[in-house]
Amino acid sequence: DYNKPILGLFNKSHIDYYIDRLNDKKLESQPSLALMSAIALKKLQMAKKGFVLQIEAGRIDHVNHTNDAFGALMETAELDQVLDVVDDYISKNPKTLVIVTSDHGTGGFGVYGTGPDYNDSTIIYTMPMTLCALGAVLAKCIYPLSKDRDQEVIS
C-alpha cells in the first residue's frame, strides 16, 4: 500500500556489494538499488506538490576505498540500472529534473612506486577520479559546461 509510510531495513549495516548479492543466495533478501528506486518513485509520485528524491549508489565509494576496480565497475553497473528506472519515469513525467553526480575520488586507481619491485613509493601516479569512476554512465547523462581534465578522460 503506497499510502502508508515505508521503512526498509535489509541488513545490520550496509547493503552488501552488488557483486556479492549477485553471487550469494543468502543475500537475495537485499533488494537492488533499482528496485528501491522504483518503489520510491511510485510512492513519491503521489505527492501533490512534487518531491525531491536522492538516490545514492554509496557502495561505489566504499569499494573504491580498497581500490577494487572490478567491484567499482559492478557498483557502477548497478547504478546504470537505476538510471534505466529513472529514465523510464522521466519518459512518463517529462517535467522531471534529474541531477547525476559522482562521488569524490577515494584513493584513485594508481600504480605505486617506480622500481622493479615497486618498493619506492615516493612517486605515485594516479588517474583523476572525479568523473572516471562513473565516466561511462555519466557520459551519456550530462552535457559538459566546460572542457576540463576530467572531460578529456571521458572523451
Q: Is 38 in a helix, a strand, or coil?
A: helix
Rg of the chain taking only CA atoms, in angstroms: 19
Q: Where are the domains of the chain?
A: 18-154
- Do 56 and 104 touch, CB atoms closer than 8 A? no
**Is 103 among the annotated ligand-binding positions?**
yes
Q: Which residues of 61-95 are buried (b: 16+ CB within 10 A; e: fewer)?
A: bbbbeeebeebbebbbebbbbbbebbeebeeeeee
CA distance 141 to 98: 9
Q: Is 13 exposed, middle or buried (CB count within 10 Å of its CB: 0-12, 13-18, 19+)?
A: exposed
Report pTM: 0.66
**Is 88 among the annotated ligand-binding positions?**
no
CA distance 109 to 113: 13
- What pLDDT was estimated at residue 74? 92
C-alpha cell at 142: 550530462
Cell numbers 572525479: residue: 130
**Is 65 among the annotated ligand-binding positions?**
yes
What is the block-wise mean pLDDT of the chain (155 residues), using blocks of 10 residues? 82 92 94 95 89 90 83 91 95 89 62 49 43 45 43 44
- Do 66 and 45 touch, CB atoms closer than 8 A? no
- What pLDDT was estimated at residue 118? 47
